């Protein structure tokens, strides 16, 4: 039964993700590296438009697992788009990744320092799932740096049944081969299993330490224009989160995808890219 559940979740979750390995035959942008603190960050930068955008992936995510449709699909005359492997993820290793109870805050701080290192002082954020949480924290704590905010599949607190789901799929051997193999390709089986278990441990510890709260108290401090998107069939992030963010982030917009699941930016890439670009370009 669990394997069937995992197979059903596979196409729609960044936390339980199928990596889309069948890339197009087009030449992929060159990946670069820059030293930020103790880590050499792997990233791509495309376009020469005046509006700068940083893409923040979900749990264990990287450039090509999470943002290929945006890297390839955004208007490069209007936007300069940066996508990164956060410290400890993808090719931004070493060091290895850990998940203390403040790891979302650390991700936000690392993103801020990364963009400073690239000499990009003002930019918008595209954050998916875990990346959306760090994006909200960054927007709240560094308002001078963030022009606009776009988040989807994200939450500011954890519900008990969501924590139970993470526990059920802690063991990667219970994952389907279709889900497991692409992650092993990125990390190797041993490190992938270690990382995933660490992530679940981190979520459990965060839930216990803060009674499920992640960043609720910061939502009121987000002052930049904000666009929240949500797939109404998302099994990983309860529908209450989208309405909660919309209610508590002043002036935010909300777009629902009735048939969408967790990865609406992949399964509905054309509409997603169009809607997001229009929002970013609005004065």
Which range, of 14-23, 98-107, 185-194, 237-246, averages the lowest pLDDT?
Answer: 14-23
What pLDDT digit, counting tens, does each position of 62-80 carry?
Answer: 999 899 999 999 999 999 9
- Predicted pLDDT of residue 47: 97
Q: Check whether the bond before 222 is cis (ω within 30° of 0).
A: no
Q: Is the pLDDT of residue 82 over 70?
A: yes
Q: Is 197 a catalytic residue?
A: no
Q: Which helix (H) or strand (E) holds 274?
A: helix 269-281
List, in order of start, the domains of the chain with CATH numbers: 2-16+28-281 (3.40.50.1820)
User: For the chain, what is the mean pLDDT?
Assistant: 90
Edge-to-edge strand order for the sheet containing 123-128? Answer: 32-36, 39-46, 79-85, 51-56, 123-128, 146-152, 226-231, 253-257
Evaluate if residue 207 carries a pLDDT over 60: yes
Residue 124: active-site member: no
- For residues 109-129, average pLDDT: 98
Active-site residue, selected from the candidate residues 13, 124, 129, 135:
129
pLDDT at 15: 54
pLDDT at 226 over 80: yes
pLDDT of 19 > 90? The answer is no
Query: Which pair of structure tokens corresponds to residue 130?
Result: 């875990």
- 234 among known catalytic residues: yes
Query: What mean pLDDT is predicted for residues 78-105?
Result: 96
Of 59, 88, 57, which is closest to residue 70 (Cα–Cα)? 57
pLDDT at residue 24 tops 50: no
Which residue in 215, 217, 72 sits closest to 151, CA to CA?
A: 215
Q: Which of 92, 234, 241, 252 is catalytic?
A: 234
- Mean pLDDT in residue range 107-124: 98
Judge whether residue 17 has pLDDT over 80.
no
**Catalytic one among 62, 134, 154, 262?**
262
């Amino acid at each position: 039964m669990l394997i069937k559940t995992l197979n059903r979740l596979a196409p729609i979750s960044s936390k339980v993700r199928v990596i889309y390995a069948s890339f197009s035959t087009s030449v992929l942008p060159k990946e670069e590296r820059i030293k930020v603190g103790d880590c050499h960050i792997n990233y791509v930068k495309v376009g020469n438009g005046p509006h700068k955008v940083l893409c923040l992936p979900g749990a264990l995510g990287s450039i090509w697992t999470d943002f290929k449709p945006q890297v390839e699909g955004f208007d490069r005359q209007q936007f300069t788009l940066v996508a990164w492997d956060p410290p400890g993820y993808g090719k931004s290793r070493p060091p290895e990744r850990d998940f203390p109870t403040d790891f979302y805050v650390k991700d936000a701080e690392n993103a801020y320092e990364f963009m400073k290192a690239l000499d990009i002082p003002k930019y918008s954020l595209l954050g998916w799932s875990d990346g959306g949480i760090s994006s909200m924290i960054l927007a709240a704590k560094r308002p001078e740096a963030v022009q606009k905010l776009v988040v989807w599949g994200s939450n500011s607190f954890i519900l008990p049944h969501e924590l139970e789901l993470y526990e059920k799929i802690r063991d990667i051997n219970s994952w389907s081969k279709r889900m497991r193999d692409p992650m092993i390709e990125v990390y190797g089986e041993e490190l992938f299993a270690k990382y995933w278990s660490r992530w679940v441990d981190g979520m459990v510890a965060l839930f216990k330490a803060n009674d499920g709260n992640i960043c609720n108290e910061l939502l009121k401090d987000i002052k930049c224009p904000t666009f929240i998107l949500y797939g109404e069939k998302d099994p990983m992030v309860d529908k209450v989160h989208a309405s909660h963010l919309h209610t508590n982030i002043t002036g935010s917009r909300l777009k629902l995808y009735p048939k969408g699941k967790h990865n609406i930016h992949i399964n509905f890439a054309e509409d997603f890219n169009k809607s997001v670009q229009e929002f970013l370009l609005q004065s």
